Amino acid sequence: MGNLDSPIHLNMHPQKQTLLKSCVYRIPALLYERKSETLLAFAEQRKTSSDSHADTLVLKTGKVKEESPDWSDFKSVDEARIEGHRTMNPCPLYERNNQTLFLFFICVEGTVEESWQINNGINKTRLCYIYSEDLGQSWSSVTDLTDTLAEINNWATFAVGPGHGIQMESGRLIVPVYGYAKGGAPYAISLYSDDNGDHWQFGKMLQTKSIECGMAEFFDEGQNSFIYCNARSQEGYRVEAISENDGDEFCKLSGPPTLPETGRGCQGSVISFPAQSEDANTECDQSQDKNKWLLYTHPSNHRRRIDLGVYLNKSPQDPNTWSKPWIINQGPSGYSDLAYIGEGWFACLMECGDKTEIEQIACVQMGTLILINGDLIDKYINV
């Protein structure tokens, strides 16, 4: 395994496309719909950089092309709103059986801050979603799940994602959530549906303190399914946990943690994808139809939100097998979200800028990633 404190800085980088700038845009979430070859990029539009001044969600769609996506103009998702509340934390997921796009989010009363809710043990947050049957061209009205989920009564506050949700091969839909128990400690948890999104319920909270989280399904060599959870932490390293029962309950991975957390913490993204050929001159093996590897993005610096890194793990049950990070954005970098396009191609939506990480939201598209002597590289960029 490579030294996590020695990231790779390549001479060539993926082409970065600025999607949102000028106003304050934060909290990217990305989803790829394979049949239409469409990327859907969501974000918060804010009145200021403060969390308490979030306003509405926006959406851009992109048609995947060989070099970089062709993006539409952005539009506000005005349906994702409750009167007297601000909308935050976009978390999309796609239900393939009915071809339905769900967009989960939270609605927070007025300008009430998360810290006030935690300190007072009084929840002012609602758990909501809307759905679309035409990939975001039109949306349903808001469904508010808050009063149907008894667990929320025991929390000081909570949020979804941010980032994307997943659909398991079995059909189960999973939304990553974290909640603050009354008393102040945060824990990650899954929200899931086994009936294509008609009804939702929570699993069990992680037993390790954990905040913003992402989840991915992977399979071992025996084709057994696992749900991997990667969560923000306040302890200097990321929290990694595994579920053997479809996200109902998670156990922290054994051994010392290896993925560094940044400063007071930062959101990161994780996806699973089929194992790829590691020969730079060999195309991907399309027979690998089970997701067995993990890809993860997060600022690679221990202290500051800079140098967004991409990490690869070919043995997801072993936290010691993460590669060194490949830096895809040098300089200020914040939240990010990954999508697997297929045939070894990926897209990453990220917060970035010249002086701070919240100046813009941009997207990069990456070709097949391979490991050479422990170093993660993009073979199409580096040949």
pLDDT at 211: 97
Active site residues: 51, 335, 351
Distance CA 171, CA 93 (A): 12
Residue 160 lies in a domain: yes
Domain limits at 113? Answer: 24-381
- As a whole number, mean pLDDT of residues 205-219 equals 97
Residue 53 lies in a domain: yes
Residue 30 lies in a domain: yes
pLDDT tens-place string over residues 94-146: 999 999 999 999 999 999 999 999 999 999 999 999 999 999 999 999 999 99
pLDDT-derived band of residue 281, with 50, 70 and 90 as boundaries? very low
Q: How many domains does the chain have?
A: 1
pLDDT tens-place string over residues 313-363: 999 999 999 999 999 999 999 999 999 998 888 999 999 999 999 999 999
Residue 16 lies in a domain: no
Q: What is the CATH number of the domain that holds 193?
A: 2.120.10.10
Asked if the model's pLDDT at residue 20 lies above 70, the reply is: no
In the block, residue with structure tokens 């009354």: 182
pLDDT at 11: 31
pLDDT tens-place string over residues 252-266: 998 888 899 999 999
Residue 98 lies in a domain: yes
Residue 18 lies in a domain: no
Q: Which of 234, 266, 309, 240 is nearest to 6 (CA)?
A: 309
Distance CA 359, CA 255 (A): 38
Percent of the chain exceeding pLDDT 90 equals 76
Residue 13 lies in a domain: no
Q: List the single range of 187-196, 215-224, 247-256, 269-278 with lowest mean pLDDT.
A: 269-278
Residue 6 lies in a domain: no
Q: Which of 130, 139, 177 is nearest to 157 (CA)?
A: 177
pLDDT-derived band of residue 68, with 50, 70 and 90 as boundaries? confident
pLDDT-derived band of residue 225, with 50, 70 and 90 as boundaries? very high
Assign 3-state DSSP to the chain and report helix, strand, coil percentages, each to 5.
5, 50, 45
Distance CA 155, CA 130 (A): 23
